[in-house]
């Protein structure tokens, strides 16, 4: 029988015409894990392992699908064989299978998809081909047992972090601290520090970030703000006198009469007599002590005493009024820190003249030692030490008369002299 169909549309003639094997000639005809299967007049890309041999026209084509071709992921086991579909046509038709005779006598391809003469499964999509048709699955589905089933992309690790499978597709998302890349699959760390979430320092980390604080601050429980450290609360010994907390630091303060030493913590007495920052007149003598100073008036000896030197009064033995009075009164000044540990030797006195056969008695006389903070300890025949025996609290000014009695029994002599010691006790133990 003669047909007037164009030669190139005749499947019978195609069978005999030399087909080009694109799978051999075209480099990378199929990408990824797709296997190239040569066809008459073309080739197919199908997932590897599904078919080892494809005969004639396959019952389905997967070339339109993007996933398995683009992404080399493992695939499920191959489905069962699918019967090729051909339209049923009358043997008496003048055209070959799949073609129909038109009014002008030519054979035209039957669009089985339009004429509804295909046998594609309802889940499948019919694609018309020259002389036949194929049943295919839409994107996101694959053929399993003749049915198009959703590909569970999550099962095959399409997403780097979080995956949600949906019919025909999937969607990736990321854990907190990550953002989805433009490829919609991989995730990248968010640089949270770019938004300056920390009140002080910020360190970006993979999947998170960390705040830190400047010196003198500590991280609050919210992990981002910094609270001042109250250094003064750490130790009461941080400052010698008073600690004042400041944001990020602390400051030591000293009482009046002191300056803050260069260590920033201890207090040193201001020597007002040396700095000149005092109110003493030229007639007075400036006496410095811990935390203050005093101006000593020029010595005036009360009669019958007469002035012997700048700091000593004398009562002449020739003066009857001087009988039973100390021969000399020597004026001395010293300072003493409050709370000084006891016992402490604080003052030494010594006989300056030694009479043959004489001995000496040292004692504290008069007011000034009512609290019995002091006693005299004789250290030799001619010397004694004033000992502080009880803690003493300032500010106080004490005046002690330290008496040295000279006794000479050979010549029946008894006389005394006094050191009038003024002690300035500071308010603070420094």
Instruction: Please list, in sequence order, all residues whose beta carbon lies within 8 angstroms of the beta carbon of residue 276, skipping any fewer than 6 positions away.
Output: none
Residues numbered 151 to 170 that lie near Ca ion (CB under 5 A) are 151, 165, 170
CB of 167 to Ca ion, least distance (A): 6
Contact flag: residue 129 with Ca ion (CB under 5 A): no
Binding residue for Ca ion, selected from 75, 189, 199, 364, defined by CB under 5 A: 189
Stretch that binds Ca ion, among 53-61, 122-130, 244-252, 374-382 (CB under 5 A): 244-252
Least distance from Ca ion to the Cβ atom of residue 358, Å: 41
Could you say which of 204, 224, 284, 383 contacts Ca ion (CB under 5 A)?
204
Q: Collapsing DSSP states into helix, strand and coil, what is residue 77?
A: coil
Taking CB under 5 A as the rule, does residue 150 contact Ca ion?
yes
Pairing verdict, β 292-296 and 285-289: antiparallel
- CA–CA separation, 52 vs 54, rounded Å? 7
Considering beta carbons, is residue 277 or 316 the nearer one to Ca ion? 277
Interacting stretch for Ca ion, rule CB under 5 A, among 43-51, 99-107, 201-209, 365-373?
Answer: 201-209
Note whether 71 binds Ca ion by CB under 5 A: no
Closest C-alpha to 388, from 338, 426, 332, 350:
338
Alpha helices in 250-398 (DSSP H): 272-275
Q: How many helices (H) and strands (E) does the chain have?
A: 5, 31
**Is position 228 an interface residue for Ca ion (rule: CB under 5 A)?**
yes
Six token digits for residue 408: 């000479």
Q: Which stretch binds Ca ion (CB under 5 A): 66-74, 195-203, 239-247, 295-303?
A: 239-247
Instruction: Pick from 288, 328, 338, 406 the residue near Ca ion by CB under 5 A.
Output: 288
Query: Residue 420: which of 391, 386, 380 has the closest Cα?
Result: 386
Rounded to the nearest whole angstrom, what is the least distance from the CB of residue 193 to Ca ion in the complex?
A: 8
Q: Which of 62, 112, 269, 401: binder of Ca ion (CB under 5 A)?
A: 269
Q: Beta strand pairing status for 226-228 and 217-219?
A: antiparallel
- Cα 271 versus chain centre, distance: 46
Q: How far is the CB of 390 from Ca ion (least distance, A)?
A: 25
In the DSSP assignment, the letter for residue 193 is G
- Residue span binding Ca ion (CB under 5 A) among the ranges 6-14, 61-69, 114-122, 286-294: 286-294
DSSP 284-332: SEEEEETTEEEEEPPP-PPTT-EEEETTEEE--TTSGGGTTS-SEEEEE
Applying CB under 5 A, among 245, 251, 284, 363 the residue interacting with Ca ion is 245
Rounded Cα–Cα distance for residues 315 and 320 (Å): 10
Query: Which residues have a Cβ under 8 Å from the Cβ of 91 and sit 6 or more positions away?
Result: none
Q: How far is the CB of 136 from Ca ion (least distance, A)?
A: 17
Which residues here bind Ca ion, judged by CB under 5 A? 150-151, 165, 170, 189, 204, 209, 228-229, 245, 269, 288, 293
């Amino acid at each position: 029988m003669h047909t007037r169909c164009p030669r190139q549309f005749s499947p019978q003639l195609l069978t005999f015409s030399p087909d080009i094997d694109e799978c051999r000639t075209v480099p990378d005809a199929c990408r990824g894990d797709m296997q190239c299967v040569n066809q008459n007049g073309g080739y197919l890309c199908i997932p590897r392992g599904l078919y080892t041999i494809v005969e004639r026209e396959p019952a389905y084509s997967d070339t339109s699908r993007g996933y398995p071709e683009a992404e080399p992921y493992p695939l499920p086991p191959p489905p069962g064989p699918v019967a090729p579909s051909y339209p049923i046509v009358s043997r008496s038709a003048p055209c070959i299978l799949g073609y129909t005779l038109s009014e002008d006598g030519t054979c035209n391809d039957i669009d089985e998809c339009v004429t509804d003469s295909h046998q594609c499964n309802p889940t499948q999509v019919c694609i018309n081909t020259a002389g036949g048709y194929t049943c295919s699955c839409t994107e996101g589905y694959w053929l399993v047992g003749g049915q198009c089933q959703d590909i569970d992309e999550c099962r095959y690790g399409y997403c780097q972090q979080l995956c949600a499978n949906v019919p025909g597709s999937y969607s990736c998302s990321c854990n907190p601290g990550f953002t989805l890349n433009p490829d919609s699959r991989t995730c990248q760390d968010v640089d949270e520090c770019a938004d300056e979430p920390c009140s002080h320092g910020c360190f970006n980390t993979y999947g998170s970030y960390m705040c830190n604080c400047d010196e003198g601050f500590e991280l609050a429980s919210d992990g981002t703000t910094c609270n001042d450290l109250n250094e003064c609360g750490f130790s009461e010994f941080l400052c010698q006198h008073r600690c004042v907390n400041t944001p990020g630091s602390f400051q030591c303060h000293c009482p009046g009469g002191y300056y803050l030493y260069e260590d920033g913590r201890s207090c040193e007495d201001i020597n007002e007599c040396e700095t000149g920052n005092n109110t003493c007149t030229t007639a007075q003598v400036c006496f410095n002590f811990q935390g203050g100073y005093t101006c000593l008036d020029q010595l005036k000896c009360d009669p019958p005493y007469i002035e012997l030197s700048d700091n000593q009064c004398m009562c002449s033995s020739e003066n009857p009024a001087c009988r039973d009075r100390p021969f000399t009164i020597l004026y001395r000044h010293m300072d003493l820190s409050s709370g000084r540990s006891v016992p402490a030797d604080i003052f030494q006195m010594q006989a300056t003249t030694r009479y043959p056969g004489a001995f000496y008695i040292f004692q504290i006389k008069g007011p000034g030692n009512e609290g019995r903070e002091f006693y005299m300890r004789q250290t030799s025949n001619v010397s004694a030490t004033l000992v502080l025996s009880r803690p003493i609290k300032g500010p106080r000014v004490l005046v002690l008369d330290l008496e040295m009695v000279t006794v000479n029994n050979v010549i029946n002599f008894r006389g005394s002299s006094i050191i009038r010691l003024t002690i300035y006790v500071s308010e603070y133990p420094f």
